[in-house]
Amino acid sequence: MLREEGLIYTVQGEGTFVAAPDSAPREPRKLPMYRKIAEDIVQEIRSGDLQPRRPVPSETALVQRYEVARETVRRAIGRLRDQGWVYTVPQRGTFVSAEDKWPED
């Protein structure tokens, strides 16, 4: 029933975790597909393959490219939207944000 409540901490954009007593660095766990897709798209934006105000590939296109379910693509896009990389216009598409909206990181 959550007895060690003081040991909980949150990493923005990562989730909430229970602190390890020695803060042992966890090994990099396998990257979920929706994160890989998101990171790939960030790469394409950073490299200029995807340009500001131009559309990101549609959900359908990404579903086919990665051979994943649509929900997985939607989660990746949602992540990018939260971080400011892209913006979505309902029923129109998702577009690369202006460069000043990109996260510093």
Partner DNA sequence: GGGGATTTGTACGTATGTATC
Partner DNA sequence: TGATACATACGTACAAATCCC
Residue 105 interface partner, choices its own copies, DNA, none, CB cut-off 5-8 Å depending on type: none
Residue 8 interface partner, choices DNA, its own copies, none, CB cut-off 5-8 Å depending on type: its own copies
Q: Are 60 and 101 in contact (CB under 8 A)?
A: no
Site for DNA in 44-83 (CB under 7 A): 56, 58-61, 67-72, 74-75
Site size toward DNA (CB under 7 A) is: 29
Our finding on whether 18 is near its own copies (CB under 8 A) is yes
Cβ proximity to DNA: between 70 and 101 the closer is 70
| C-alpha–C-alpha distance, residues 46 and 99, integer Å | 10
Residue 21 interface partner, choices its own copies, DNA, none, CB cut-off 5-8 Å depending on type: none
Q: What is the enclosing helix (H) or strand (E) of 89?
A: strand 86-89
- Bridge-partner residues for 86, per DSSP? 96
Q: Are 63 and 69 in contact (CB under 8 A)?
A: yes
Residue with tokens 């929706």: 34
Q: Using CB under 8 A, which of 33, 44, 55, 102 touches its own copies?
A: 55
